[in-house]
Chain A
């Protein structure tokens, strides 16, 4: 049994927490928080607790038992999960006919038939075919097969799979009370098999899982997954009314009747960067709908945080971000992945968060009477009120996932090594840093991150140097230790020794292969971004603000926050709260002094502040480069499709010329987010030019945004966000 290394909270501290919350409302830094009723309720959505006092459950390793007892017996054991209000599971065929006979589908079939002139029966056939393609066919025998196989695989790949049992108990309870939606984070293909494996282990009802259609490409595996509870949805079906209708009715039918928990990934896809992705709202809308329309009393949403010490797809992701196209999922490809079986992927931590009641989320925010005047089975676009509610809830849930992500010491090491890598490069120093220096810094960062509320899993009974070397050894593909110095494994080209005929690598190839390592490391650093993002934005804001007047700093903060709102999880409309939170943390840790008028950096605060600004610096630089690209290059005919390759080429040149030090700017994720930000701010518009998706660049605006990011222009006061 491992114990969480998070700060233990006793009764007294909890009281203190209450006090601080009270203090919080009154505005501890004399900030005039203009609070209207709306802001209040959204304020309640985001947790304003002191992150240092977060209480978290202990973990238990479920592989431990697997290593000592028979996997076969485990796979064949009696599995009798408790279901919602004691319903009996329902056969797939019954479920399908319920969906096909539903009022909603009936309505849409008639509508489509009328609009297209096709016979209703014909449309019904199509609906039935869509459902066939989509529906899961959960079979216990397949689950047992997976339970057996995965036990073998997991034991080879991982040292441990740690689960918070209290979370499981809460989930068990929640399933009996109300329909449940499971929302795991998504970092690996492994995620949903792992989820089902854990739930099977704890005798909890197996979920049905929304999976992307791309899995279906793998013939055999696709069917296996289907039989273990996956249902398949097309990646895009924008205007297809019928498809949407079948899909939403299918999900709602399962949910409303409580046949099984519904599981899907709020982030929509695997995050290649380990940063949480901006939540997708489609499915969340669907699962909240039965509550909003009064078809169920409540829906419990359970965020689940799955943290991998080492991600299986680590370098795959990096390559993908660098533009090596992602191989289409195929069964043979999966078998090639067998070589991963010989590697050590450390441990996995799965944290089942506190169930969130949709009813309490909606309390005081949504007027449910809006559904009174139109029959509920007629599909309608959600109102603006509902959309903003679902959006806020989605952010809240992603933050709940982030909060309970377990950080391994390696995450700290990766951050430190990356920063060091870039600083040394700039200064032209000897690469890497001394091992004991790294250890000292890691211990410092450990303490800092704990202060900021990180769920850090640092074994306290082991000496720091052991912790560090164990972290380094697990990630030997990314770091080298030589002559007592630790450095990123970028210096020697990956491929080809001297005898290799292809040893004549171009500088660009060299750069890209280095970037693979940098991006991999960055993905570990990104795991701790959510802990630091608000203070780091403040640190950078202080850096670029023209004075330390509080209003100026806030303006810069607000500008940066707005700029990076596609990059990081920043709850919409919570600028003031985020600013307060950042101030609170930095003041509490002695980095800043905040008075009525000014924001001052303390003597001992510089180190933390420097760390925070360097953490954000690659992003700041990256966005600036994207801006420069748009200003300098001939973008008259640039389309959205051409954007990524063109900007990548531009960045490669800048890197090779030494005008840019951050190889991670090559990440297509960052480039896309930057473009999205510019579009959101109106500096770039998509127009219907000669080709669809032509980008129209407002150079003056892009230029001024670049300068503001670089601290060369003062941030303009935005009207909407004032202190």
Chain B
């Protein structure tokens, strides 16, 4: 699936780049370099929703859902079950539409406050920059619900006053120096997929805000096959990194759900986690060396030793710093030979409890496949509703047979059963052996193997779910996902309590229809798991749906913390979860981080005010 989508993407991008050149010559962008990525992202991507402009869900004239475009496996397909699921789950109605404001009106964008001296000096360095409304608006938000909702309404708050596109480490050094010299606020921008309000411009910021877009720093500088490392510029986005490495027969194996758009620098700055971390590790395991430009200068280690005992690891000041200390410019990362064989799989469990017990056992035996995820019953139904139209009567007959076998013959209650999706990777023999081991464990917990197809569809859902939110927003439905990590003994409790809390809060806050409140366990660790919650509701009849949404999400986070969950597993803190930082890391911990910030950036040049 990935291969398909990325190929399509690159073809498309080439076309766009050609178109872009003419735009550049027209004026706003000063400077020459043309990368593989567009300066004007909005030309291939939605300015007020998720992903590519050509890919979106819609209900066609017959009332059937379809997914447009050509990038994804689901593209161009009819999804017959979605309408009923959508209407049934949310009480939504295709007659009740809430279309977005179609075009960005420049008048809605506040005029840029430029620091003329800074602009002049940047101009003299030849680094491209822009103060076009579209460019600025695009870099003023991530993908939190309130951010997208406001954009759809055409409401624009404080946005960066200027965008600069450095094309290498030295460009960044220059920009940071100039920013310090002229007291300009810098906000690093990678892929723009943040879901923590990290890209929101602090409204109280009076200085000129400059968005430092790393997208043009996207080269693999070298590959070291002896040590299996690659030195990469931090602006590269996930899918390009994998594609380029694949060309040499390697991969990083780091695949966060946002990998189509998120950047290496962003992963480092937020402590990202990838789907296949069981084999390849999370970002902190993958990184060998980091170069970051700060107002105090460049920070990096002097060697690439695989492990060091040299005091606290300075990488850990950088990882998770969320753009408050500087700009990550170059990263040396571990790489691996591409896996020879990949196999999806799925297991159906009679209930969620059994499923969690199985995952716990798999973690205990340390035999987790590249990815193992457990969806609860609601999500299983959701996944089911996303089945594309089957091509033959035979497949549909088979499906019917499977369903009959599981529910009638095995006695699984369709309202309780849940499904785990699996992804195995490695050499063929080992994969098959591994697969057997996992299925044997599953069988002990009442799990039944449910085929590759179900597994693969589960992973596809990951990539299209963000597109689905846009569809919901066309019909009064808003939603979001959030995550946490929690010790094993708390997994069931936290899932139950947070879901129940969401439902209760919705009721209390006057939501007219029962919400969708569902979860899945997406990562396993020795001592716990990562849990993802999805939550959406129909907001007809509410005067301020976003406020209600925020209150419910806030309550849900309180519930997570009260149940022993962490503030975040990989989304980060940003400004959305800042209020809980002190309780999370203690006063002393806050003081430590603050003193680092005070030393590295005493004038708060990196003033996005995340984290602390």
Are A297 and B564 in touch, CB under 8 angstroms?
Answer: no
B497 within 8 A of A: yes
Stretch from A91-99, A331-339, A365-373, A495-503 at the B interface: A365-373
Please report which residues of chain A, range 346-376, place their CB below 8 angstroms from some CB of chain B when the two chains form the complex.
Answer: 367-369, 371-372, 375-376
Output the nearest chain B residue to A372 by Cβ-Cβ distance. Answer: B564
How many Cβ-Cβ contacts under 8 Å join chain A to chain B? 24
Instruction: Provide the bound-state CA to CA distance between A297 and B497, in Å.
Output: 5
For chain B, what secondary structure do more than half of its interface residues adopt (helix, strand, loop), or is it mixed?
helix
Closest to B558 in A: A368
B489 interface neighbour in A367, A368, A369, A375, Cβ under 8 Å: A375
Across-interface contacts of B489 in A (CB, < 8 A): 375-376
* Known A375-B489, A376-B489: A294·B497 in contact at CB below 8 Å: yes
Given contacts A368-B562, A368-B563, contact A294 B493 (CB under 8 A): yes
The interface residues of chain B lying within 8 Å CB-to-CB of A375 are 489
**Beta-carbon contacts under 8 Å, B425-457 to A:** none
Chain A residue nearest to B561 (CB atoms) is A369
CB-CB contacts below 8 Å: B459-503 with A:
489-490, 493-494, 496-497, 500-501
Is the C-beta of A295 less than 8 angstroms from some C-beta in chain B? yes
**B583:A294 contact, CB within 8 angstroms:** no
Shortest C-beta distance, B551 to chain A (Å), equals 14
Residues in chain A near residue B563, CB distance under 8 A: 294, 368
Known: A368-B562, A375-B489. A294 touches B501 (CB 8 A): no
A104 to chain B, nearest CB (A): 12
| Interface size range of chain B in the complex | 10 to 19
Instruction: Check B493–A369 contact: CB distance below 8 A.
Output: no
Whether the Cβ atoms of A294 and B490 lie closer than 8 Å is: yes
Check B561–A297 contact: CB distance below 8 A: no
Contact A294 B561 (CB under 8 A): no
Within 8 A of A (CB), among B524-571: 561-564
CB distance from A128 to the nearest CB of B (A): 25
A294 to B565, CA, bound (A): 11
> Quick check: A294 and B500 within 8 Å, CB to CB?
no
What is the interface of chain A mostly: helix, strand, loop, or mixed? Answer: loop
Q: Which residues of A contact B496 (CB under 8 A)?
A: 297
Q: Bound state CA distance, A369 and B583, in angstroms?
A: 10
Interface residue count for A (Cβ, 8 Å)? 11
Residues of B within 8 A of A294 (CB): 490, 493-494, 497, 562-564
- Chain A, Cβ-Cβ closest to B501: A297
Question: Which positions 250-306 of chain A face chain B at CB distance < 8 Å?
Answer: 294-295, 297-298
Residue of A nearest to B486 (CB): A372
User: What string of 1s and 0s marks CB contacts (under 8 Å) between A365-398 and chain B?
Assistant: 0011101100110000000000000000000000
User: Chain B nearest CB: distance from A490 CB in Å?
Assistant: 58
Distance in angstroms between the alpha carbons of A252 and B274 in the assembled complex: 39
Could you say which residues of chain A place their CB within 8 Å of the CB of B583?
Answer: 369
User: Within 8 Å CB of B497, what residues of A?
Assistant: 294, 297
* Docked complex Cα distance between A298 and B561 (Å): 16
Contacts of B500 in A (CB 8 A): 297-298
**In the bound complex, CA of A375 to CA of B583 (Å):** 20
Question: Given the complex of chains A and B, what is the CA–CA distance between A707 and B104 in angstroms?
Answer: 83
Which residues from chain B contact A368 at a C-beta distance below 8 Å?
Answer: 562-563
A371 to chain B: which residues have CB within 8 Å?
564
**B503 to A, closest residue via Cβ:** A297
Bound: A367/B561 CA distance, A = 10
What are the residues of chain A within 8 A of B490 when measuring CB–CB?
294
Q: How far is the CA of A375 from the CA of B501 in the complex (A)?
A: 23
Most buried by B among A294, A368, A371, A376: A294
Chain A nearest Cβ from B556, distance in angstroms: 13
Across-interface contacts of B501 in A (CB, < 8 A): 297
Which residues of B from 100 to 116 have beta carbons under 8 Å from A?
none
B493 and A295 form a contact (CB under 8 A): yes
Residues of B within 8 A of A367 (CB): 562
Distance to closest chain B CB from A377 (angstroms):
8
Per-residue A-contact encoding for B497-532, CB less than 8 Å = 1, 0 else: 100110000000000000000000000000000000
Complex Cα spacing A368 to B564, Å = 9
- The complex places the Cα of A376 from the Cα of B494 at a distance, in Å, of 14
Residues of the B chain whose Cβ atoms lie less than 8 Å from the Cβ of A372: 564
CB distance from B168 to the nearest CB of A (A): 45
In the complex, what's the smallest C-beta–C-beta distance from B357 to chain A, in angstroms? 14
Map CB proximity to A onto B309-349 as digits: 1 under 8 Å, 0 otherwise. 00000000000000000000000000000000000000000
B176 to chain A: closest CB distance in Å? 39
In the complex formed, the residue of B with least CB distance to A291 is B497
Chain A 186-217 residues near chain B, CB threshold 8 A: none
Interface core residue of B494, B496, B501, B562 (most chain A CB under 10 Å): B562
> Which chain A residues lie closer than 8 Å to B493 at the CB level?
294-295
A135 to B143: give the CA distance in the assembly, Å: 55
Q: What CA separation (Å) do A85 and B20 show in the bound complex?
A: 60
Q: Which chain A residue lies CB-closest to B494?
A: A294
Query: Closest Cβ of chain A: how far from B211's Cβ, in Å?
Result: 37
Q: How far is the CA of A514 from the CA of B37 in the complex (A)?
A: 101
Once bound together, how far apart are the Cα atoms of A627 and B494, in whole Å?
Answer: 55
- Residues of B350-369 at the interface with A, using a CB-CB cut-off of 8 Å, are none
A297 → chain B, closest Cβ, in Å? 4
Distance (whole angstroms) from the CB of A250 to the closest CB of chain B: 20
Closest B residue to A375 by beta carbon equals B489
CA distance A530 to B564 in the complex (A): 41
- A-facing residues in B219-269 (Cβ within 8 Å): none
**Chain B residue at minimum C-beta to C-beta distance from A357:** B504
Select from chain B the residue with minimum beta-carbon distance to A362: B562
Shortest B493–chain A CB gap in Å is 5
CB distance from B497 to the nearest CB of A (A): 5
Q: Which residues of A contact B494 (CB under 8 A)?
A: 294
Report how far A375 CA is from B490 CA in the complex, Å: 10
Residues 281-313 of chain B, each 1 if its beta carbon lies under 8 Å from chain A, else 0: 000000000000000000000000000000000
A-B contact pairs, 20 of them (CB 8 A): A294-B490, A294-B493, A294-B494, A294-B562, A295-B493, A297-B496, A297-B497, A297-B500, A297-B501, A298-B500, A367-B562, A368-B562, A368-B563, A369-B561, A369-B562, A369-B564, A369-B583, A371-B564, A372-B564, A376-B489
Which 5 pairs between the two chains have the least Cβ-Cβ distance? A368-B562, A294-B563, A297-B500, A372-B564, A294-B493
What residues of chain A have their CB less than 8 Å away from a CB belonging to chain B? 294-295, 297-298, 367-369, 371-372, 375-376
Binding site for A on B (CB under 8 A): 489-490, 493-494, 496-497, 500-501, 561-564, 583
A294-B493, A297-B501 are known; give 4 further A-B pairs, CB within 8 A: A294-B497, A294-B562, A369-B561, A369-B564
